Amino acid sequence: DTEVTQTPKHLVMGMTNKKSLKCEQHMGHRAMYWYKQKAKKPPELMFVYSYEKLSINESVPSRFSPECPNSSLLNLHLHALQPEDSALYLCASSQGGTTYEQYFGPGTRLTVT
Amino acid sequence: AQKVTQAQTEISVVEKEDVTLDCVYETRDTTYYLFWYKQPPSGELVFLIRRNSFDEQNEISGRYSWNFQKSTSSFNFTITASQVVDSAVYFCALRLIYNQGGKLIFGQGTELSVKP
């Protein structure tokens, strides 16, 4: 089973709202990732968690706050977003270590109004 | 600096044609991994293949085949007898073995349209 699930599929939020994106995997993977993807562009890495510790933050604005409650779950808390943050947010996971392929979820399509 | 170039932005073929998607990469490292992902209109990136820098054997999986040539820093992907379901954006990506955190360096993607 190579499934990564993400909820919600679609999210519309105002600039003053607080919302969260959720990602879950049950493959025993120990690395989890958040990516942002704008239309017609490749995914851009935002955060990496390795063994439940934040290992990479690609200089993401503080209005995005990641959380890894356990090895199967990854959240992305959103607060005071801007319209330019509208994008597809993809979660991925991989086995521990940096050499393994990443498996992606279906993404959350976020619209900030 | 590391970079992946997919020079073909869009390709359109008719069903049953063969099509090759080009990928050229740049890195000074001698150990690295290369990947291909497929992104259909639904949005999910689907892993297709991983190849490490020490393994230059070509690979075939059904209608898909991959040609890895270190001498030209290329990792091309061929779909034989294309089908409408192959329509998607295809990304080539590079990861350095010792790169902290496993960051994937993506090319800009090639949008493949297969018409019936």
Averaged confidence pLDDT in chain B: 93
Q: Nearest by CB to A48, which of B35, B97, B102?
A: B102
Q: Nearest by CB to B100, which of A2, A42, A56?
A: A56
- Read off the tokens for B106: 């993506």
CA–CA gap between residue A107 and residue A93 (Å, rounded)? 13
- Minimal CA separation from B41 to chain A, in Å: 11
pLDDT in tens, B56-111: 888 899 999 999 999 999 999 999 999 999 999 999 999 987 665 568 899 999 99
Find the closest chain A residue to B9 by CA distance.
A40
Q: HSE, CB side, 13 Å, CA atoms: give it for residue B54.
A: 2
Inter-chain CB proximity A92 and B45 less than 8 Å: yes
CB proximity under 8 Å: A 57-86 to B: none
- Minimal CA separation from B52 to chain A, in Å: 9
B43: nearest Cα among A44, A9, A61: A9
CA–CA gap between residue A33 and residue A94 (Å, rounded)? 9
Look at residue A99 and tell me whether its pLDDT is greater than 80. Answer: no
Interface contact A87, partner B, CB < 8 A:
no
Strands (E) across A8-86 are located at 10-13, 18-25, 31-37, 44-50, 53-57, 64-70, 73-79
- Minimal CA separation from B17 to chain A, in Å: 25
pLDDT score, position B29: 87
